[in-house]
Chain A
Amino acid sequence: MTDLFVNEKFIGEVENPTDFVNRTKIERRKNKSLSGFNIMYDEKCDEIKIYTSKGRALRPLIIVENGKSKLTRDHIKKIKEDEIGWKDLEEQSVIEYLDAGEEENAYVALSEEELNEEHTHLEISPMNIFGLCTSLVPYANYDSSSRLNRGSKTQKQSLGLYAANYLLRMDTDVSILHYPQIPIIKTAMHDFSNYDKHPSGQNIVIAVMSYEGYNMQDAVIINKGSVDRGLFRSTYFRPYVVEELRYSGGLVDEICIPNKDAKGYRSENEYKHLEPDGIVYLGASVKEEDVIIGKISPPRFLGELEEFSIAASIKRESSTAIRHGEKGIIDMIVITENEEGNKLIQVRLRDQRIPEIGDKFASRYGQKGVIGAVIRQDDMPFSASGITPDLIFSPHSLPKRMTVSHLIEILGGKVGSLAGKYIDGTTFDVEPEKKLRKELLELGFREDGTETFYNGLTGEQLKAKIFVGNIYYLKLKHMVANKLHTRASGRIQLLTRQPIEGRSKGGGLRLGEMEKDCFVAHGASLLLKERFDSDKTIVHVCENCGLLAIYDKFRSIEYCTKCGNNTTITPIEISYAFKLLLDELKALGMYPRLKLKSKY
């Protein structure tokens, strides 16, 4: 006897499980009113499980009976003539939906040719083995699987039209590509997913060659002429949010231009963009550290109030300024209220991003790279017909990674753009390369896609023929403008006196343990010392007791708290971190004694 569960609840027992399951399935296919459940037989546990619950992931498959697909030529003909549709196929039990459980009992064929008696279902298209993003990779059956993974990953990072109502939204860290295009080489998934409504790349002319070493490794060269004409331009948005908080004791924040006597008042110049209500005006061109929302808050601790001061007048300035390293134009201002009823100000910053050295681009096959140089159009290599490529891609990226589809797309894109049509690159069902080559020949080009090129600097003809064509390229969201970071000097930590951490605060670049080892290995002793000078301090040491003495700068006297004035006190230079260590040892009850000796 086999236990029967419906939605994980025990219902009863069944004599012959396989027969029961088969009969149930036949009944479900016959009678439409019974649909909407899935049944599986778990042989190991000897249990039958029926699921009818919401939220199961279902997928459609063509039913196979006695080794024959229920989707006949007749059906296909009718579908083509638009006589029947998906609903009809469902009703006629040509297609049924399986959940994860029932799938365990199914034997699914990938294509009609391989069908045999044992199969229970047929995949609607072999492309179904891929997910949404991977299906968007054209000519995927020409690539290794790891490249497809990377290709679908890079597509997720590409800039495009992420939402049609982007102008009304307050999304963090998003970009819009200015002139997104539909790819010339499409897959079926591009049509299914309405890719033409939200494209995320541009069709560009690419040449596979090297240029002066500026595109070594994975770097690419971009044509300045193309950039000036608007290629891969994007807009970056960032919202700034400020809330008028209420504190205990009836104190509130106030959004306004802070008064000069507010604690922590910045310079007048930094408030110049504010309107009388304390918020920037729309369209203001702001740069880092500019205040965009002025705000004053009550003092942090009420104890801070001194006896004689007028309690309410001492306010703390707590304005919001543009983040370190950012700039842009004020795009939208929203004044509203949040759930607690506090005044809420949202300001959106907009910044145009023109491709520059360091911006990241990728094709759809995991071939990603950053711009190594932006070259003037007149210096770019040009073809016999006068075409300059938008982008130069290094041939060394190809043999090791075996992204054959990258090459086929260049070829196919060339055919597509010349013939004025879209090329189908649906996985397992592509327009064959031979056909593309033939078409290219008919269009008056060399069938292998190569062309005679001339050196853009000297005008000499290049010895090799250059492979050139059109390809769909993506601008990825990683832009240097968001990552570039340098520091000469700046803020330090209170405790250790070492530089603070993080790009947004203008922090230092850490020279870590292993980097230190590198300096030592090179014997660069003094350079190493200089690198670690960030927290050096002069301390005065009592040579009698070996502890730190006191040097009073104003009175210009030095004395030891233990030995008094009658001792030799010597200034030495050590790292502040070591001074801290000495203090901690003292706190532990140890006596770290410094014995001084002249170095020279």
Chain B
Amino acid sequence: MLKDITLGQYFPGNTVVHKLDPRTKILLVIVYIVGLFQANGWAGYAAVTGFTCLCTALSKIRPSAMFKGVKPMLFIIALTALLNIFYTQGTPILPGWIITWEGIARAVQMMLRIVLLISGTFLLTYTTSPIALTDGLELLLNPLKKLKVPVHEMTMMMSMALRFIPTLISETDKIMSAQKARGADFETGSLVKRAKALLPILVPLFVSAFKRADELAVAMESRCYHGGEGRTRMKQLRYQTRDRIALAVGTVFLALMFVLKRFGL
């Protein structure tokens, strides 16, 4: 049950998209989101959809994997669509009906917007390993160090948190089995009862998480870790030709979106 969660799961690969510098990819996702929100006509949405499909095809991520990411959001997507259908003024599709043509169009566009938003961000996490991602983030946020923002420490915490998600999941699984073997029941009863039933899982989970954090801290200190100051990296990130091309494509995309918006398409 717990294993089905896809939270920024990384699919290793060897495509252009995988090989792009993480900084490029993070920037492109920002460009993508800004571009997506410029779309307010069919031409705009078509352009964004086309761009998304192109990137997905290049990354060789299967559409089914993309769909899996969208699935948990289906409820919100459906709700947005419903609200838009019923609350948009315009010409009714049949005389006297509440549903308008404009409503349907808006609902479809809203659905597209959410799906595209999720797909774009998932494409980033699907094709970038968590370590590369935090490395990229750290370098992008580097200028903030001048303002005394602890960028390195923040990204280190982030990568550690990501690293321990699978560990915690398997730990939870184990503790759940052990408590079930002692007759704990997580599935039946009222909401309050079920919330209480979580206690035998949460307490041991927290205890071991704190213990692990402690051990990790000691292990890091005994290897002389002392934060980001003067720290060098094994894998230096360097912009390549492909990154320049990708950023150029991103700029063109953004320009196109602004133009389309300007003409109300």
Is chain B a partner of chain A in the same complex?
Answer: no
